[in-house]
Structure 1
Amino acid sequence: MQKGSGSAQEVEYRYPPWVRRYIDIPEESVYDAFALSVKENSGRPAVYFLGRRMTYSELGEYVDAMAEILRDQGVSRGSRVMVLMPNVPHYIVTFFACMKLGAVVVQANPLYTVRELSYELSDSGSSTLVTVDIVAGRLKGLDLSGVRVLVLDTMDFLPGGKAMLFPLSRQGREARGSLKALGLRTVRIRVGRNGPPEKVDPAKHPALIQYTGGTTGMPKGAVLSHRNLVANAYQIIEWLPEKYRKHTSYLSAAPFFHVYGMMTAMLLPLIQGATMYLVPDPRDTGMIVDYLERFGPTAFPGIPTMYHSIVSRKDISARKINRVKVCISGAMPLPVELQKRFEEVTGATLVEGYGLSECSPVANVTPIVEEDRDSWRRPGSVGLPLPSTEERIVSLADPDRDVPLGEEGELLIRGPQVMLGYWNREDETREVLRDGWLHTGDIARMDSDGYVYIVGRKKELIIASGYNVYPREVEDVIYQNPKVAQCAVIGVPDEHRGETVKAVIVPKDRSLTADEVIGFCRERLAAYKVPRIVEFRDSLPMTAVGKVDKLRLKQEYLGKNGG
């Protein structure tokens, strides 16, 4: 056990024997870490994508070529570049090309509507947008004045001559319309130059803007430095049993545009020198199971929704998916019964982690111990702080006072992975970052071994299938419907999604239907934000100070549905 101060009482952290409490973080940029891995693993396979394999050396060449393309487009240190893609090699190439130039990647969800993309494009001040042809249709209706747009060709990274891939090519051509696609394969040969990487200060220079938020307004951009991202990767590597730290393989199905997928399914594997099997659509459970069976990847970072979809398949008992060994579940709570069922089906070790966009994102993970693993687990816990991560539980009434072990309070985090702040939000940055401590807004408790239990959220954030849904944003859309007088959006338990979105509405026009509300939202919001449950009432419950009593709405739902 290793001692540390994490609350009003001293904690005896119960770490596995190979995990050090504190580690040294290399003073390097994200590109430096990538380039070193390319050098050390040049001939090893880096990426598998729909039949195409690419070595680290090839990947490095594509990154260098893309960096020159972006440089020619005026991208330089500090430029914000919005990346709008699913899990395709083009994402990886563009991400590290930006890192080489010292540009700041703005990750965007390709499922977003024009309204959502417009906000993040404008708020971030992105001067360049890079997408891939199969999702280029998302740009229709987007105000791109003053923004350089690069559309990459999906077929660049697909093996030629396969009839099964032709529909994908046609889909790309149709989606991009009049936009011309840029062929990286041709450009890689034509560029013929490889400029040096831009010098950056890893601790101070932004590498990534990841949009996140709460219930008080539109999403905020968490600014993550090169050191934040590199540190989090090395913290997770330290957590892994030694036999899984180098030259392993990953099923990379968690979306890269989500900070959890970016870290655990892309950056972490590439720094390790691992092979990544890309799954473009995380909802494609068939492909996920096929890859688990066919390639037998060692690691599969995912979210509970993915694991639930796998164990729910009727044919799963007949599938040979027992070569996967390490699975880290993040982005939303992992039900204990799901954990047990998945481990029974695969034989893997599935552990739960906890994090936030503001922490790059991983802060806590349950020990990954394969032998006698139950003795290392605490039901309901998200595990221990990662190496070099300090945590406190403070009083909700007095954030300067630590509460005794076992008592509930707000979780505070300090470590090398904690963000620089929110993009252009100085007031909100000061509110959550105080004396180096990140005030998470999550209510938690800590036991004497250092295990943390998340028991609630101060903010009303809904996490549906691992994605953040901000009630205020959904309410703002619903209020645009002239038939709505009042509305309140809450998160309610869902077996498959963890939580789902429920809208409680007082109609102005009695002809309003649930289908109409859902359809209205579907036109203006990403699918995962659209309410799945709509309830109509004559009035909404109010608190003593005149606010909608969302806690009561939740309690009423749980009372009626056995929650």
Structure 2
Amino acid sequence: MEESIVERSWFRFYEPNVRKRLEIPELTLMGMFKQTKLKFPDNPALIFGGKTTTYADMDIFIERMAKMLKQRGVKKGDRISIYMPNSANWVISFFAIQRLGAIVVQTNPLYVESELKALLQDSGAMGIISIPQLLPRIMKIQEEVGLELIALDFLKAFHGLGGLGLADNPLYEDIEKQLSDPCWDELESLPWVGETEDLAVLQYTGGTTGTAKGVMLTHHNLVANALQAWEWIDGQEGKERVLTVLPLFHIYALTACMNFSVLSGGVMIIVPKFDIDIVLQHINDYGPTFFPGAPTMYVAVINHPRIKEYKVSSIRCCLSGSAPLPKEVAIRFGELTGGRLVEAYGLSEAAPATHLNPIFNSRVGSIGVPAPNTDSKIMDLETGEQELPPREIGELVVKGNQVMLGYWQRPDETTDVLRDGWLYTGDIAYKDEDGFFYIVDRKKDMIITGGYNVYPRDVEEVLYTHPAVREAVCAGITNPYWGEMVKAYIVIKEGLSVTEEEILNYCKSKLAVFKIPKAIEFRESLPKTAVGKVLRRFLVEEEREKMREKEMAEVTAQGEIAVSI
């Protein structure tokens, strides 16, 4: 690793406080938490639903829940899914699982039964932690996937397990009851479990193929990336307040919100989902200093009609990821908050951050420069074996402490993307003479809409099951709010008819909400190659041409108005 980071062109653009090389301690995630708890026991760790939990109290809750999980048979190496929105108990559940040396299976709470089933079967999860609202989905598949434990995070409104008739079912546990019951404190202390190279998280991603795969991230990967982010931000230990509205099941939030906060002794200000009014009220009331997010979130903030009624000047720094950050958004956000909003880049396979823009010397349109302990280069698209000079376009590859162990039970696909320690990202990019990197396109056709990854095949397979659909293809179309939106192009079977509304309603029962197309176009035929493969990129370029023509028409119209005046 030391040789790979010597004399890189981008080092001269590091902020003065940022070291070129970091020593990564031999810590597990739980060890990282314990270290912070000893240093800042009375610091607030979590703010959720108006309630504050200190690091000392959080430690007690983690130990109680870990004892409950152990009593129910959870042991080192077991996979446990967390299937619920952001909450204080999401974080406590995560660390309780780590306390036993078990592995967290990151699970999107928007997944419907078929998506959830596929993920649980692939991971071999023996248990799941969720909320009552999602229990019907779990119950439909629990026997098929072999769940041995279902722990539910009950809100007061549900009045415990009895309200759902589950109190006598040995499969279920009430998280709130376990966390509040001091009887667990009387049990013998748990032995210390886990090593830094142990697997900590299975982060599911489509990678470069569109097929869901479990990215194997070790404690070392995740601790290293939290340290890299902390080094870059140059915050105040024990003082940072992190707005956590990004979903914690996503690797971006896991590192930039949770692990960053715990490492630094900061507090997570947790919001279950992005609602602009709720988010602005939390900013106003709790004064976050750090706000990791996606461009759509910042667009919503700067365009809120009553933005000036809220106090937002506490925000010192924001890292924008998941989609390209428009220049106008960064400028306007900075004007409103006085803070810095810069673009970064990462992927699940790298825990996730690999490139970040210098906080005070960012370059618009660039994903920035490699983080400390990270090397990066551009390789030719043909063989992936020849490094390309500045300005030449090829595949972005990275190496560093944060790079994954591999894909869960997929050795061939692991070999495809990991070569001699280098991770081949599947993104097409170039770097300039200074070492700033720029993403040009994606090697495959993944769509990023509002920060969520959507694989066209998932949506197309559902569309093809509709009785009126003959052919269907989906593409990511540029959108000023979503970054990209899912658009479906559909050819209807001869003699049949269907409306856009009917198609959308059909999708609602079979797809997570972020996967549902936001636009549908019915066509007589789809563009194809000579062998019958649909030319998805042709459709994308067609949309770009429409946008260019629209923009030219608007410019012409404005010119005519100016002349007439």
Which of 226, 248, 257 in structure 2 is aligned with 1:256?
Answer: 248
Paired letter, 1:418: V
Which whole-Å CA distance do the structure 2 matches of 1:174 and 1:459 have between them? 47
Residue 455 of structure 1 aligns to a residue whose secondary structure is strand
User: How large is the Cα RMSD of the aligned pairs?
Assistant: 2.3
Q: Equivalents in 2 of 1:92, 1:176: separation in Å?
A: 27
Q: Equivalents in 1 of 2:463, 2:521: separation in Å?
A: 13
Equivalent positions of 1:342-357 (< 5 A) are 342-357=333-348
- 2:200 aligns with 207
1:37/1:5 Cα in 2 relative to 1: closer, same or farther (>3 Å)? closer
Normalised by the length of structure 1, the TM-score is 0.91
Are positions 1:317 and 2:304 aligned together?
A: no
Query: Structure 1 residue 223: deviation in Å?
Result: 0.7
Q: In structure 1, what is the Cα distance between the partners aligned to 2:188 and 2:150?
A: 20
Tell me if the contact between 2:295 and 2:321 (Cα under 8 Å) persists in the aligned partners. Answer: yes
Q: Distance in 1 between matches of 2:165 and 2:389?
A: 58
Separation of aligned partners in 2, 1:169 and 1:304: 36
Q: Secondary structure at the match of 2:247?
A: coil
2:420 maps to which residue? Answer: 435
Q: Does the 8 Å contact 1:222/1:357 carry over to 2? A: yes
In the alignment, which residue of structure 1 is the partner of 2:178? 184
Cα offset, 1:293, TM superposition? 0.9
Match of 2:65 in 1: 66
Q: Identify the match of residue 327 of structure 1 among 292, 304, 318.
A: 318
Contact 1:82 1:108 in 2 (8 A): yes
Which shows bigger deviation, 292-301 or 174-183?
174-183
Q: Which residue of 1 aligns with 2:469?
A: 484
Residues 416-464 of structure 1, C-alpha deviations (whole Å, 9 max, x = no match)? 1000111111111100011110000001111222211111110111001
TM-score, length of structure 2 as denominator length: 0.91
Q: Which amino acid in 1 is paired with 2:512?
A: A
How far is the alpha carbon of 1:550 from its aligned partner?
0.9
> What SS is found at the alignment partner of 1:502?
strand
Question: 8 Å contact 2:30–2:99 — kept in the other structure?
Answer: yes
What does residue 408 of structure 1 align with?
A: 393
The separation in 2 between residues aligned to 1:174 and 1:524, in whole angstroms, is 29
8 Å contact 2:130–2:153 — kept in the other structure?
no
What is the CA–CA distance in structure 2 between the aligned matches of 1:99 and 1:77, rounded to whole Å? 9
Shift of 1:213: 0.5
Counterparts of 2:340 and 2:9, CA distance in 1 = 30
CA separation of 1:540 and 1:13: change in aligned 2, threshold 3 A: farther
What CA deviation, in whole Å up to 9, does each residue of 1:506-531 have, x standing for no partner? 11153122112211111111000011
Aligned 1:108-123 pairs, distance under 5 A: 108-123=107-122
Within-5 A mapping of 1:232-311: 232-241=225-234, 243-282=235-274, 284-311=275-302
Task: Write out aligned runs for 1:389-400 (5 A).
Answer: 389-400=374-385
Aligned residues: 541
Aligned counterpart for 2:457 among listed residues 446, 453, 472: 472
Q: In 2 relative to 1, CA 191–10 (structure 1 residues): closer, same or farther, beyond 3 Å?
A: closer
Aligned positions of 1:86-105 closer than 5 A? 86-105=85-104
CA distance in 1, matches of 2:162, 2:305: 36
Residue number in structure 2 paired with 1:540: 526
State the 1:233 CA deviation: 0.4
In structure 1, distance between residues paired with 2:10 and 2:263: 32
Q: Which amino acid aligns with 2:291?
A: F
Which residue in the other structure is 1:161 paired with? none
Equivalent in the alignment of 1:378: 363
Deviations 1:42-62 (A, max 9, x none): 111111111211110000010
Question: By how many angstroms is 1:175 displaced?
Answer: 7.9
Q: Which residue of 1 aligns with 2:373?
A: 388
Query: 2:72·2:149 contact (CA, 8 Å) conserved in 1?
Result: no
Cα contact 2:334–2:341 (8 A) shared by 1: yes
Once the 2 structures are TM-superposed, how far is the Cα of residue 341 of structure 1 from its aligned partner?
A: 1.5
The letter of the residue matching 1:26 is P
Q: Is the 8 A contact 1:391 1:414 kept in 2?
A: yes
Amino acid aligned to 1:513:
T
Q: Which runs of 5+ in 1 are unaligned?
A: 156-165, 370-375
The structure whose RCO (Cα within 8 Å, separation 6+) is larger is 1
Q: CA deviation at 1:90?
A: 1.0
Distance of 2:321 and 2:160 partners within structure 1: 32
> What residue is the counterpart of 2:554 in the other structure?
none
Instruction: Give runs of aligned pairs for residues 548-563 of structure 1, distance below 5 A.
Output: 548-562=534-548
1:142 partner SS:
helix
Partner of 1:106: 105
What does residue range 27-38 of structure 1 map to in structure 2 within 5 Å?
A: 27-38=26-37
Q: Report the CA distance between 1:143 and its aligned residue.
A: 3.1
- Alpha-carbon displacement from aligned partner over 1:266-291 (angstroms, at most 9, x marks no partner): 11101110011110112x11111001
2:102–2:200 CA contact under 8 A, matched in 1:
yes
2:68 touches 2:178 (CA, 8 Å); kept in 1? no
Instruction: Describe the superposition over 1:192-212 as per-residue Cα deviations: whole angstroms up to 9, x where unpaired.
Output: 235335433312x11000110
1:511-550 equivalence runs, <5 A: 511-550=497-536
